[in-house]
């Protein structure tokens, strides 16, 4: 689903959200219900594509935990209602690439110490909350998060790697990367909610929203 640059979003007055974020948000970019429905469709596509292969799910913390949990649950439900059972194992890594709303030059990868178990596995699904993607010339962004993570994963020689991302941002950097599965292509906006944070705030917001300048100042470190 592509969200255009001139999309005005939904008024905050149309939805409920935590009172402690009143005055900190511009608008709702993607309501929670649409996120859930789109994630269910991604799960269906994944189940159709992986065939008889079992999968190991690598969830990227912290922003990916909601998307990962919902995606895995949908895959499990589809597996229960089909003639074949899909075996899934889950591991976690954490990436740190932002200070306030600015992307940092150095990427930190933490966790996933037992990734050697991926060696020779049939299928590997890496779940991310947000991914930057080459699209428009006049929008600045970076796809290096995916490159750094994939380079580390490939050291363990998994048999197959598939990448799922809830969001893809349109950017201009030539190192962008398109995932195998993604939910929404969005403008180059700093978004929060659905476990995506700004300095550890807004993870408890169900909708994906655009933070305003007041919110950035309020929670800046």
List the single range of 144-148, 173-177, 192-196 with lowest mean pLDDT. 173-177
Q: Which fold has domain 33-184?
A: Rossmann fold (3.40.50)
Q: What is the pLDDT of residues 27-66, one digit of tens each?
A: 999 999 999 999 999 999 998 888 777 788 888 888 889 9
Query: What average pLDDT does the segment 106-119 reach?
Result: 60
pLDDT at 197 over 80: yes
CA angle 7, 10, 11 (to 5 degrees): 130
Give the residue among 146, 205, 202 at the shortest CA–CA distance from 171. Answer: 146
Query: What average pLDDT does the segment 135-144 reach?
Result: 39
Tell me the average pLDDT of the chain. Answer: 82
How confident is residue 139, by pLDDT bands cut at 50, 70 and 90? very low
Q: What is the pLDDT of residues 120-135, one digit of tens each?
A: 554 567 787 887 654 3
Query: What average pLDDT does the segment 97-101 reach?
Result: 54
Domain boundaries, the chain: 33-184
Give this prediction's pTM. Answer: 0.83
The predicted pLDDT at position 6 comes to 94
**Helix/strand/coil (H, E, C) string of 165-202?**
EEEEEEECCCCCCCCCEEEEEECCCCEEECCECECCEC
């Amino acid at each position: 689903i592509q969200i255009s640059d001139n999309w005005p979003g939904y008024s905050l007055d149309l939805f409920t959200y935590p009172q402690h974020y009143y005055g900190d948000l511009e608008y709702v970019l993607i309501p929670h219900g649409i996120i859930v429905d789109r994630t269910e469709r991604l799960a269906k596509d994944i189940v159709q594509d992986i065939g008889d292969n079992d999968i190991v799910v690598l969830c990227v913390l912290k922003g990916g935990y909601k998307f990962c949990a919902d995606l895995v649950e949908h895959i499990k439900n589809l597996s229960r209602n089909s003639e074949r059972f899909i075996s899934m194992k889950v591991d976690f890594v954490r990436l740190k690439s932002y200070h306030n709303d600015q992307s940092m030059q150095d990427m930190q990868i933490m966790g996933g110490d037992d990734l050697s178990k991926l060696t020779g596995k049939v299928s590997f699904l890496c779940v991310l909350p947000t991914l930057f993607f080459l699209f428009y010339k006049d929008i600045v962004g970076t796809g290096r998060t995916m490159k750094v993570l994939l380079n580390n994963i490939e050291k363990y020689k998994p048999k197959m790697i598939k990448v799922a991302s809830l969001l893809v941002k349109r950017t201009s950097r030539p190192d962008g990367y398109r995932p195998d599965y993604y939910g929404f292509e969005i403008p180059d906006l700093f978004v929060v909610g659905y476990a995506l944070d700004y300095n550890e705030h807004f993870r408890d917001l169900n909708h994906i929203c655009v933070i305003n300048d007041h919110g950035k100042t309020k929670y800046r470190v």
